[in-house]
Structure 1
Amino acid sequence: MNPTSMPGLDAATEQALWQAARRVRQHAYAPYSGFAVGAALLDERGVIHVGCNVENAAYPQGQCAEANAIAALVATGARRIRAALVLGAAPQWVTPCGGCRQRLREFAADDTPILIAHPEHGVQVVRTLGQLLPLSFGPDHLQTAASSSS
């Protein structure tokens, strides 16, 4: 197995996610930081949804690429993320921020592969969402709580 791949995610799908994130990253609106990010999500139907970061002069109002890709996924009626790829150009890996890790958790399981990629070098590393957000709180906690209170 390729050190960057995960079981259940073939090379063609990995490449399609990378290409989609690379294309959408070109449309990022990052006039303040100059740090463009692209994200691509694979849903339960095998469809890829993309998003790029959108900054705002009122800094806290900006939106991350992952959040925008999740909104695109939800807008089509999809509800599960089977894989995610985050792409940015930096000397270190560009991983989802803490808030986006929690956003991903709403639609993805602990074993969901998160591919960390560079626009020129491709996928650099793959981690599971559980590795990036250990002991996370998710929808299953609320379903369990609702079941026990009935």
Structure 2
Amino acid sequence: MELRQKALSVRENAHAPYSNFRVGAALRTPDGHIFTGCNVENVAYPEGTCAEAGAIAAMVAAGEREIVEVYVIADSPDPVPPCGGCRQKLAEFAGADVPVTLATTQGTERRTTVGNLLPGAFGPGHMDRA
């Protein structure tokens, strides 16, 4: 519930004058810290920033590197999943089994995992030169 409240609250700060589609994200680290982000649009599409990317940037800026839970909320008929780029960003800091809740402002929630959002994710093992 705490992640939902944080994501819902930060969503209000989104800068979305072009799409009017505000998104909020909250993530929890192993020590219980919560970091939030909202989408920030730019007139020069696609130069904006997604809510998930903002939350991850705040986490990294605070010196943390691991996500144990994610919550994303938007005002839409169905829960909105992260874009492809944000799925890869989440996979950088979260294991495949990390729970992700996708939600609407009306209360609909869909639970999944990072692995289900991005099966076959590109990872550090792909960079090995054995």
1:4-24 alpha-carbon deviations (Å, 9 max, x no partner): xxxxxxxxxxx0000000000
CA distance in structure 2 between the aligned counterparts of 1:47 and 1:141, rounded to whole angstroms: 30
CA distance in structure 1 between the aligned counterparts of 2:33 and 2:99, rounded to whole angstroms: 16
Aligned residue in 1 for 2:54 = 68
1:82 Cα offset (Å): 0.3
CA distance in structure 1 between the aligned counterparts of 2:100 and 2:3, rounded to whole angstroms: 11
Structure 2 residue runs without a partner (length 5+)? none
1:5-60 alpha-carbon deviations (Å, 9 max, x no partner): xxxxxxxxxx0000000000000000000000000010121100000000001011
1:140 Cα offset (Å): 4.0
Q: Tell me the matched-pair count.
A: 130
Secondary structure at 2:68 match in 1: strand
- RMSD across aligned positions (CA): 1.1
Displaced runs of 4 or more, over 6 A? none
Query: Of Structure 1 and Structure 2, which has the larger fraction of its residues in helix?
Result: 1
Larger Rg: 1
1:59 aligns with 2:45: yes
1:99 aligns with 2:85: yes
Aligned residue in 2 for 1:138 = 123
Secondary structure at 1:60 match in 2: coil
Identity of aligned residues (%): 52
When normalised by structure 2's length, the TM-score is 0.95
Secondary structure at 2:26 match in 1: strand
When normalised by structure 1's length, the TM-score is 0.83
Aligned residue in 1 for 2:2 = 16
